[in-house]
Amino acid sequence: MIAALALLPLFALTTFGPDETNELVAEVMVGPSSFKLMYPAPNEPDTVFVAAFLFDASPVTNAAFLAFVRANPEWRSDRIAPVRADEAYLSQWLSPEELGPPGPHNGPDQPVTRVSWYAAKAYCKALGKRLPTEHEWELAAAADETRVDARQDPEFQGRVLTWYSRPNSAGLPDVGNGVPNKWGARDLHGLVWEWVSDFNNTMVTGDSREKDSPDKTLFCGAGTLAAADGGDYASFMRYAMRSSLAGRFTTRNLGFRCAHTPNTTPRKGLERR
Amino acid sequence: MRKTSKTMKRVYGGLLMAATISLGACNGAPKDGPPPQAVSLDTVGSGMHVTDDSGAIAGKGIFDRMCVGCHSVGGGPRVGPDLAHIGEKRTTEWLKEWMKDPMAMVAKDADAKAVYEKWNKVPMPPQGLTDTQVNQVFAYIAANSGPAKTPVLTMTDTNGLPVNLGAGGSKDGDFGPPQGPEIEAVLTSPPFVPPAPDRDYPAKVIVHLEVLELVKPISDGVDYTFWTFGGTVPGSFVRVRQGDTVEFHLNNHPDNKMPHNIDLHAVTGPGGGAASSFTAPGHSSRFTFKALNPGLFIYHCATAPVGMHIANGMYGLIMVDPPEGLPKVDREFYVGQGDFYTTGKYREKGLQPFDMQKAIDENATYVLFNGAENALVGDNALQAKVGETVRIFFGNGGPNLVSSFHLIGEIFDRVHIEGGSRIQENVQTTLVPSGGSVIVDFHLEVPGTYVLVDHSIFRAFNKGALGLLVVEGEPNLAVYSGKEVDEMYLGDKAGGGPADRDAVIDAAAAAAEGKLTKELQVAAGELLYKGTCSTCHQHKGQGIPDVFPPLAGSDYLLADSKHAIAVVLNGLTGPITVNGNNYNSVMAPLSNLNDDEVAHILTYVNNAWGNKGARVLPAEVKDVRANTPRAPGAAH
């Protein structure tokens, strides 16, 4: 009887999530490289130069985000200002500072989802980093295992499209399991949509059949007409997804990773911001 | 005089009626009221030729002071209705009585009461005008109404049903602000259709439509990730009335991966709503539109890449009923056709992804009704009864293929061509554009299973564009008998024209009198032998070596007459020896020949080509027929 009672306190002491110091996440160097834009702006050249940047090798996990929230309780789901996140923010967690028993979306090593752009920005800033820009992210994502720019390859596009058409019923896999691409980054496709700092840069209109020129509205059915490469539906759908978002939105399939410019040192651990 | 209507604080409504009074009918200066203004034609405002004699100019003065607060002439409804063309709708007497005391009219006249209720029960007070003044106002209204409207053709078909349904185009479809209580739209899943709107006024209808991405079978053992409106392909059926104001909520389920929007072909406005409904997962968009045109309209997702969203099943139908409604039928069904593109082959098992290249090449893997191969077969077949009139609301979501819609065994009695207002009748197969629709009505006379197909027929039988309508009831043999006879047809082998049949006719006549002779039989048999037996045994009974045995001088034939009868009736297979030669062939049973014919043929062969065999009588043939079993499938 007493022996049984002695076992009870052991359960109360167990905690979830990583420890508070949060070691540095693996990063890879992406670029420098020229990059052919999917959606050049009207007076912009269609190729940009992207300077080298350091890029998280995989998306931010639930465990890492939990450590951030613990250190910065104003980003708890029960304390965050509504203007910074919608009602579904971190709703896959058991409680504002607990992941809960691992399920389809709240496992410690699964990518954190249901985070708003504001929350993602704050996390990166707490580490002395930032969100990648759309050009940076797309440059990194254009690569497959052997090539810097695989976007013209129908097989590559097909793989990406297959993920888009798979249903959501299965849970999310853990991060880091994807095959690294030419830059060494993983899980840019096949895991979650990811925030970028200028996600509403390329304003795909609500009616995807018109873009810029009124003449193009005559051609019903493909906003891709304005796209530099109309055949790259895989990239196109990411632009469409991003333009449906607003800064406070969260979705079940939307996560993020951080980037930073070389020669700036990220902080170890998460300081209050 | 009353004060100008502009200063009136209370709001008056009601109906001011005007008759079509020919210009110039009214004469003279008014007894009271302002003297006719010395104004030019331009100030009348209509640009139409108006003489002082008609009093229209004076009428304008009265109208502008007393009526314009609630009514316009050609400027749309205000508190009260637009009075343009009012003379075409109401008689002069009615209007004058109304003008004297509107509320008294409402109390005793059903039409007046209906109008009062339609316009929100706002009472119109009597205006205190003299007869002359009333005539002047009427003249002004007539002058400003513009040309009389061309009456809409009201042709009917032979059953008295209209062949033009729905009030013109969008310019005629604005019936004013919504009235009555707000209505929560009833949406149905295919193959069912919501009931027709049962009201005679435009209302506000609220629609909540949810987008769901889900995995469902597309064929036996084959799964596909569908993107759907309301969880089905095609999506939920929406039904409103022309002139309705629709408040549309598009809800993108939080479990979905993709953003979506909606383009309803019934909407007049940018993108058909798509510009105003782009929605991220876990969010909802709202926009409002007025359904100005009647008809059956496709709706679909228009998020890029649009072809992929449509190919994954994002289409459905919205019906905008004409104000007078559709003719009543016994059953209404909802069927949607679509083409589908998978990387695997047709019926290749497993979860099949969408194949973009096949979609671009318009190389469909499946062409289906209601999103799955078995959607309208077996237990899911449509049901109806003999004597019923059935209506199918049929949409073609595409994304690529045009449909040749046909119902095997039936003809479409009435077809709303392309889902619009004109009726075509008696159509076998109707073309339904991709992103288009049709409504078909047909009356059932005969029970059985009728098959819906796309008559680009390989799609029906090799890609799945097939559904069933099972009709129960009493057979109607006068309309359709089913198979009555199955008999031999010998073509040109049946032995020449009428003259050649003489020998057979003579034999038959003699037999009837009991005077059948061997010679008559031989003559008839010779005729019958040609074309039946000579095909194999040849004209001189010589047969074909190693293939068909001879009959001339045949020891096998002449050995046993009764056996020969049985061979003719029941056929013969297996090895035999004739005149020392072996044969192993097949002789088909000829039990379709009657007793007389067999007897005549055998009598002939037994006595032709030097044969000296027996005569065979019909009674003997009858005896053998009765006592030997028929070959399977042979006639009696």
Peptide bond into B632 cis (omega under 30): no
The answer, for B250 touching chain A at a CB cutoff of 8 Å, is no
CB-nearest partner of B277 from A161, A206, A251: A206
Residue A129 or residue B634, greater confidence:
A129
Q: In chain B, whose CA is at the least distance from the CA of A91?
A: B254
Cα B10 to Cα A193, A241, B69, B124: the distances in Å are 59, 53, 10, 10
A178 touches A224 (CB < 8 A): no
The answer, yes or no, to whether residue B264 has pLDDT greater than 90, is yes
Interface test with B, best of A169, A194, A208, A219 (most B CBs within 10 A): A208
B348 confidence band (pLDDT: 50, 70, 90): very high
Residue labelled with tokens 């065994």: B409
Q: Is B621 helix (H, G, I), strand (E, B) or coil?
A: helix
E strands in B131-244: 183-184, 204-219, 222-229, 238-241
A229 confidence band (pLDDT: 50, 70, 90): low
List, as one string, the DSSP characters of B569-605.
HH-EEEEEEETTEEEEEEE---TTS-HHHHHHHHHHH
Q: In chain A, whose CA is at the least distance from the CA of B284?
A: A244
Cα B465 to Cα B129: distance, rounded to the nearest angstrom = 69
The answer, for B263 touching chain A at a CB cutoff of 8 Å, is yes
The answer, for B362 touching chain A at a CB cutoff of 8 Å, is no
CB-nearest partner of B281 from A223, A224, A251: A251
The answer, yes or no, to whether residue B26 has pLDDT greater than 50, is no
The answer, for A167 touching chain B at a CB cutoff of 8 Å, is yes
Length of chain B: 636
Q: How far is B52 from chain A (nearest CA, A)?
A: 51
A5, burial (CB in 10 Å: exposed 0-12, middle 13-18, buried 19+) = exposed
The answer, yes or no, to whether residue A20 has pLDDT greater than 50, is no
B40 confidence band (pLDDT: 50, 70, 90): very low
The confidence score (pLDDT) of residue B52 equals 58
Q: Do B257 and A164 touch (CB under 8 A)?
A: yes
E strands in A51-168: 53-56
Which residues does B412 contact at the CB level (< 8 Å), separation at least 6? Answer: B426, B427, B428, B430, B440, B441, B442
The answer, for A9 touching chain B at a CB cutoff of 8 Å, is no
The confidence score (pLDDT) of residue A231 equals 64
Cα B394 to Cα B431: distance, rounded to the nearest angstrom = 11
Q: Do A251 and B280 touch (CB under 8 A)?
A: yes
Helix axes of B561-570 and B595-607: crossing angle, nearest 10 degrees: 130
Peptide bond into A101 cis (omega under 30): no
CA atoms within 13 A on the CB side of B610: 9
Average of per-residue pLDDT values in chain B: 86
The answer, for B350 touching chain A at a CB cutoff of 8 Å, is no
Angle, vertex CA B179, rays to CA B140 and CA B201, nearest 5: 75
List, as one string, the DSSP characters of B378-407.
GGGSEEEETT-EEEEEEEEEESS--EEEEE
Instruction: Dihedral sign for Cα B52, B126, B117, B248, please.
Output: positive
Predicted-assembly ipTM surpassing the 0.90 threshold:
no
From chain A, pick out residues whose CB is under 8 angstroms from the CB of B275: 205-207, 210
From chain B, pick out residues whose CB is under 8 angstroms from the CB of A168: 213, 255-257
Cα B164 to Cα B294: distance, rounded to the nearest angstrom = 11
Q: In chain B, whose CA is at the least distance from the CA of A166?
A: B225
From chain A, pick out residues whose CB is under 8 angstroms from the CB of B305: 222-224, 233, 236-237
B173 touches B293 (CB < 8 A): yes
B17 touches B81 (CB < 8 A): no
What does the buried/exposed string (b/e) look like for A140-149 if buried means 16 or more CB atoms within 10 Å of the residue's CB? Answer: bbbbbeeebb
List, as one string, the DSSP characters of A19-53.
-TT-PPPPEEEE--EEEE-SS--TTS-SEEEE--E
Q: Do B304 and A249 touch (CB under 8 A)?
A: no
For residues B596, B601, B606 and B609, what is the CA-based torsion angle, rounded to 10 degrees?
A: 150
Average pLDDT over residues B476-502: 73
B167 confidence band (pLDDT: 50, 70, 90): low
Cα B482 to Cα A101: distance, rounded to the nearest angstrom = 68
The answer, for A249 touching chain B at a CB cutoff of 8 Å, is yes
Which residues does B479 contact at the CB level (< 8 Å), separation at least 6? Answer: B445, B446
B315 touches B298 (CB < 8 A): yes
Angle, vertex CA B631, rays to CA B627 and CA B633, nearest 5: 130
Residue B4 or residue A260, greater confidence:
A260
What is the CATH number assigned to the segment(s) A2-204+211-260? 3.90.1580
- Residue B10 per-residue DSSP state: S
